Structure 1
Amino acid sequence: MNANLMIIIGILIYAGILVFHGFKSFKTTGKSSEAFFTADRGVNPLVLLATTAISVFSALAFYGVPAALYRDGIGFLSNTGGMIAGLLFVVIGYRLWILGKEYGFLTPVDYLRSRYDSEGYGILVASILILFIVPYVAMQLIAIGDATVVTTEGMVPYLVAVGLATIVVSLHIIGGGMKSVAWMDTFHFILGAGTLIVLVVYLTITYFPNGGLSQAVDTMLKDRELAPILSHPGPNGTFNWQGTLSNVLTGAVATVVWPHIFMRTYIAASKDTFRTMAWALPIAYVFVFFLIAIIGAILAPAIIGPDFANTDSIISVLSTQYATPIISFLSLLCLFAFGVSTADSLLLSASAIGSRDVFVRHAYELKGKTVDSRKVVYFGRVLLVILMLLTLMVVALKPTYIVDYAYKLSSPFFAQILPATIGGLFWKKGTKEGAFTGTILGLVVTTIFTFFISPPFGFSALVWALLFNAGGYIAVSLFTKAPEQIINKYIVRVESIINSGTEVNGLVDDSLTALNNREAR
C-alpha cells in the first residue's frame, strides 16, 4: 500500500478516536457546568501535569521553535523559560484553586470580576481573551493543515486538512468538555514526547552513526555558515539581556494567565496535586524543549545544511525526506498532539467565558433570573459550534494579517491580566480602579509598540506593556481603597487556609457572614 495512503488512513482513524472519546461522556458532562468546564475539579496530578504541559507547547512549539533555533541560534531557547512557567503555575495556581473551591470560579473572568467587584472589568477581560483565542486557535490548525499537505505530498489538500482538524477538535470538546480534553491531553503528551525521542534517536543513528550528536556538532563546526547556530545567543547573532528577558516573558511568564492554562488551576483534585506539579511541571517543560532544541539547533542544520529557505517546514521536511514513512506519520501525529491540545483547550476556555461570564451572567444572573446548570452547558456547546464556524473561516482563508496579528498580540494581550491577577492574590491594596488603569495602559502600549512605534532600548512590546500596566495598577491602587470585605474574602481567608491548614478562621468567617447577610437583604 502507498505510504501516503497509509498516513491518510491513520489520520482518519485518529480523528475518529478523538470524536468517539469526546462523545463517550456526552451525557455525563452535560449535567452541570462544573462537570463540563472543570471535570468536577477532580483531575489527578498525572493528568493535570500532562494537560497543562501539552497545552502550553502548542503547534508553534513543535514547528515554530525548531525553525527559530535554526534561524536565530540556540539563544532563542530562552523563550521557553520552563522552570519559571512551572513554578508560577504552582504559586499562583494553588491560591486560585482555593478560591475556585470556595466560590465556584471556573474562568479567569470569574475571579477577576469578583476580586475587583466590577462587572465592567469582567467584560473588559472577557473581551480581551475571546478576541485573541479564535485567531490563535486558527494558527494551530493552519500549522496542522500545512504539515499534512507536506507529509502526504499533496494527496490531502490544505482545505480538507484544516476543515477536518477544526471539526474534529470542536466535536471532541462539545462531546466531553474538560474531562475529555484533559484525558486526551495525557495521551497527547505521551505521544508528543515519545515521537520527539524517536525522531531524535532515528536521525542521530541514521545520519551520524560514528559519533552521534558529537559527530553532528563537529559537522556544524566545520561549516562557517552552520557554526554560528551553536553560539548565537539570539536573533542575528547578537546578545542583549533585554531580548532574553522579552523572550522569557513572552514564552513562559505570560503563559500562566493564558485562559486555558488559567482554567487548569481550578481543576486539580487536591492541594497535593500542586506539590507534585511544583517539581514535575518544570521537568516536563525542560525535557520536551531539550529534545526540540536538539532537533532545531543540531540535527536539522547538520543534516539539511545552511540556507534552508522554508524554515517553518523544517520538521516536516526532516520527517518526510529524511525519515521512514512510519516516522513521518508519527511526526504528523505529534504535531496533531501539540496543536489539538492547545486548540481544544482554548476553544473550551472561550466557550466558558462567552457562555457563562457574558451571556448567562448578563442575560440571567444580573437580572435576578436563575438558570439551570445544564442550560449553561447547552449554551457553551452552542457557542462552540459558532466558534468552530469562525475558526473554519479563518483557517480556510488563511489571511496573512490575521495569522501575523495572532502571533504578535495573543501572548502580549493575554499577559495584560497578569498584574491584576497577581496583585489580586497577594496585595491587599489592589483596587478595581488600579486594575482598570493598569490593564488599559497595557493594552494601549502593546498596540502602539506593535503597530506604530518600535519598542525602545531593545525590549519587546510585552515588556513595556507589563511595566506600564504594573505601574498604573500600583499607583492608582495606592490612591484608592479596596472594600474590606473584598480583602477578607479573597486574600485574608486564602492566607488563613494556607497558613493554618484549616478551612475556617473566626474573624474572616464573621466578615463573610456579615457580607452574605447584607447581600441577602
Structure 2
Amino acid sequence: MSLSLIWAAVGVYLLLGLAIAFLSRSDSTNGARVDMSGFFLGNRQMNGFVSALSYSATTYSAFMMVGLAGLTYAGGVGAFGFEIVYFAGVSLVAIFGPKFWAVGKRFGYVTPSEMLGHRYADRRVAIATALASCLFLIPYAAVQLAGVGYLLAGMSGGAITFTTGVVVAAILAILFSFIAGIRSVMWTDSLQALFMIVASTLVALLVVESLGGFAALFDTLATEHPEALTVPGSGLFSLTTFLGLTLPWFFFSLSNPQVSQRLFMPASLRSMRQMLIGFLVFGFVYTLVSVLWGFSALVAFPGLVQSDLATPTLLASEHVPPILGVIVMVGILAAAVSTIDSIMLTLSSMVSRDVYANLSPTASEARQLRVGKWVLPVIALLALMFAELQLDLIAVLSVAASTGLVVVVPPIIGAFYWRRGTAVGALASIIGGGAAVIALYATGIKPLGLPPGIWALPVALVLYVAASLVTRAPETRTREFLAAAGR
C-alpha cells in the first residue's frame, strides 16, 4: 500500500477528530464548569447513545482487530471463547453500575480510587489504588501504541517504522484528551466507534468473499488447520492457559479504572442502561468480526512469523482494495487512540485527585486540574517508552495488565457487599496482591503449574478478608456509603 495513501488517511482522520474535539470544547464551556468533574467526567451529563459508543471505543481497542485477531491466528477458536468470557463479565456493570453512579452522584467522586479511599475512610487506600493503576495501566496503554506501530509498519511493508507509528498514536491521544478532557474524548470516540464497526464488518465480509465464501473458508480451516477449530487445540491454548487469560478478563469492567470511571458519567440510570445495551450489541458484533479476521489471515497467510501482523498483512494484501484497507486501518488507529486517551485521562485524574490532593490537602480544585493536565504527556511518554520494548503478543500483554489490576476487585466488591471490609484489608489486597502478581511474572514461577492470571484474584481475596477480620471497619462511613448505594 502506498505511503501517500496511508498518510493522507491519517491526516484526514486527524483533521476530522480535531474539529470534533474543538466543537465539544465549545459545548463544554457554554455555561458548564471547567473543573475536575467537568474535565474528567463531562459534568456527569453524558447521554446513553454517546456513552455506549464511547464505552465501546474505549474497551474495544487495538486489542481487538490486532490483538484478538492475532490471538485467533495463533490459538484458533479458543480466542473466541476467551473474548466471550470477557463479554459475560460485562454483566457486572448491570450489578455495580447503578451503585457506582449513585455513590458518585451522592459524594462527588471523580475516580474509582477516590471512592475506595472514602468508603474505607483512609486516604492511603486511594493513593495505593491510584499508584497500582498507574503501574499496570501504563503497560496496557503501551499495548495500544504497539498495536498502531504494528499496524502502520505492516501495511506499509516496513516503510513506516514501528517507532513512527507509536509516536503518531501518542501525539493523537495527547491532542484529543488535552483539548476538552473526557467530553472531547467521548465525542471523538462516538465517531470512531461508528466508523470502525461499519468499516471492519464490511471489509471482513469482502475478505471472506475473496477467499471463496464462508463455506470455503471453514472447509480450508478444517482441512489445513484443524487445530484452529478445536478446543483447546494444539497451539497456544491449554486449559490452564485459557483460565489464566480469561479470569482477569472477566473482571475487566470493574478492575480497569478507565472503564469503571465511566460509570460515574451518565446523566441518569436510564442513560446507563442505554449505554450497557448499546455496548453489548456493539461488542458482540465486533468480537465476531475480529475472530473472522484472524481466521481469514490464517487461511490466506499461514506462515506469518508474528501473529500480531495478521490483520495488517491482510489489509495490505490483494484481498482488500487499497482504499478499503486504509479505511479499516484508520478505524483500528481510532480505536487504539480512544483507549490510550481514556487511560491517560483516568490516570492523570487519579494522580491529581488521589495522590497529589491527598499529599497536599490544601490544593484547590483548579490546582488539581492543572496538575492533571501536566501529567497527561508524562503518562504518554512512559507508555511510548514501554511500547518500544515490543514484548510478546498484544492480547497476552493486555491480560497481564488486567491480572495486576484484578487485585482491586475484592475491595470494590467488599465496599458494596461486606460491612466488615476495612482499609487495612483493602491495602493488603492491593499492595500484597499486586506484589504477588509482579513476583510471579518476574520470576516465571507457576505454583501448582498455574499461571498468575489464576492466582491473582484468590491471593488478593484471602489477603483482603484476613486483614479485614483482624481490624475494625469505619462504621459511620460504611453506613453512609451503603445507604447511598441503596444497601
Q: Quick check: TM above 0.5?
A: yes
What are the residue-to-residue correspondences of 1:177-196 with 2, within 5 Å?
177-196=181-200
For 1:238 and 1:31, locate their aligned partners in 2 and report how far apart those are by CA, in whole Å.
Answer: 48
Please list the CA deviations of residues 428-482 of structure 1 after superposition, one character each: whole Å capped at 9, or x if unmatched: 1111121122223312321232222532445331221210111221223233321
Partner in structure 2 of residue 385 of structure 1: 377
SS of the residue aligned with 2:265?
A: coil
Identity of aligned residues (%): 23
Asked if 1:313 is matched to 2:317, the reply is no
Aligned mate of 2:113, from 100, 109, 115: 109
Aligned mate of 2:267, from 263, 266, 269: 269
Partner in structure 2 of residue 214 of structure 1: 215
Give the partner amino acid of 2:163. L
What are the residue-to-residue correspondences of 1:294-309 with 2, within 5 Å?
294-297=292-295, 299-304=296-301, 306-309=302-305
Partner in structure 2 of residue 87 of structure 1: 91
Please list the CA deviations of residues 165-211 of structure 1 after superposition, one character each: whole Å capped at 9, or x if unmatched: 21121011110111111111111111121122122111122221xxx
For 2:243 and 2:99, locate their aligned partners in 1 and report how far apart those are by CA, in whole Å.
Answer: 26
How much does 1:131 deviate? 2.1
What are the residue-to-residue correspondences of 1:431-450 with 2, within 5 Å?
431-450=422-441
How much does 1:41 deviate? 0.5
Partner in structure 2 of residue 323 of structure 1: 320
Give the partner amino acid of 1:337. A
Asked if 1:160 is matched to 2:167, the reply is no
How much does 1:47 deviate? 1.5
Change (3 A) 1:91 1:213: same
Give the partner amino acid of 1:463. I
5+ residue gaps, structure 2: none
Partner in structure 1 of residue 76 of structure 2: 73
Change (3 A) 1:370 1:435: closer
Corresponding pairs, count: 481
What are the residue-to-residue correspondences of 1:238-249 with 2, within 5 Å?
239-240=238-239, 242-249=240-247
Partner in structure 2 of residue 510 of structure 1: none
Give the partner amino acid of 1:464. W
Please list the CA deviations of residues 348-407 of structure 1 after superposition, one character each: whole Å capped at 9, or x if unmatched: 0111011222223322x2xxx361x34333222122133334344444x44649999964
For 1:404 and 1:272, locate their aligned partners in 2 and report how far apart those are by CA, in whole Å.
Answer: 33
Partner in structure 1 of residue 63 of structure 2: 60
Asked if 1:17 is matched to 2:20, the reply is no
Change (3 A) 1:12 1:279: closer
Change (3 A) 1:75 1:13: same
For 2:273 and 2:390, locate their aligned partners in 1 and report how far apart those are by CA, in whole Å.
Answer: 43
Partner in structure 1 of residue 329 of structure 2: 332
Partner in structure 2 of residue 512 of structure 1: none
Change (3 A) 1:441 1:374: closer
How much does 1:234 deviate? 5.4
Change (3 A) 1:410 1:83: closer
Contact 2:67 2:394 in 1 (8 A): no
For 1:392 and 1:236, locate their aligned partners in 2 and report how far apart those are by CA, in whole Å.
Answer: 31
For 2:236 and 2:150, locate their aligned partners in 1 and report how far apart those are by CA, in whole Å.
Answer: 29
Change (3 A) 1:458 1:70: farther
For 2:393 and 2:217, locate their aligned partners in 1 and report how far apart those are by CA, in whole Å.
Answer: 38
How much does 1:342 deviate? 0.7
Partner in structure 1 of residue 175 of structure 2: 171
Contact 1:128 1:414 in 2 (8 A): yes
SS of the residue aligned with 1:265?
A: helix
Change (3 A) 1:164 1:448: closer
For 1:405 and 1:214, locate their aligned partners in 2 and report how far apart those are by CA, in whole Å.
Answer: 30
Change (3 A) 1:484 1:477: same
Contact 2:298 2:310 in 1 (8 A): no
Contact 2:308 2:393 in 1 (8 A): no
Partner in structure 1 of residue 465 of structure 2: 474
SS of the residue aligned with 1:222?
A: helix
For 1:48 and 1:190, locate their aligned partners in 2 and report how far apart those are by CA, in whole Å.
Answer: 13
Aligned mate of 1:414, from 405, 419, 429: 405
Contact 1:79 1:249 in 2 (8 A): no
Change (3 A) 1:301 1:159: closer
How much does 1:337 deviate? 2.1
Change (3 A) 1:154 1:479: closer
For 1:256 and 1:52, locate their aligned partners in 2 and report how far apart those are by CA, in whole Å.
Answer: 13
How much does 1:113 deviate? 0.8
For 1:271 and 1:398, locate their aligned partners in 2 and report how far apart those are by CA, in whole Å.
Answer: 42
How much does 1:58 deviate? 1.9
5+ residue gaps, structure 1: 497-521
How much does 1:247 deviate? 2.7
Aligned mate of 2:358, from 358, 361, 379: 361
Change (3 A) 1:126 1:234: farther
Change (3 A) 1:370 1:377: closer
Change (3 A) 1:111 1:180: same
Give the partner amino acid of 1:217. F
Partner in structure 2 of residue 500 of structure 1: none
SS of the residue aligned with 1:300?
A: helix
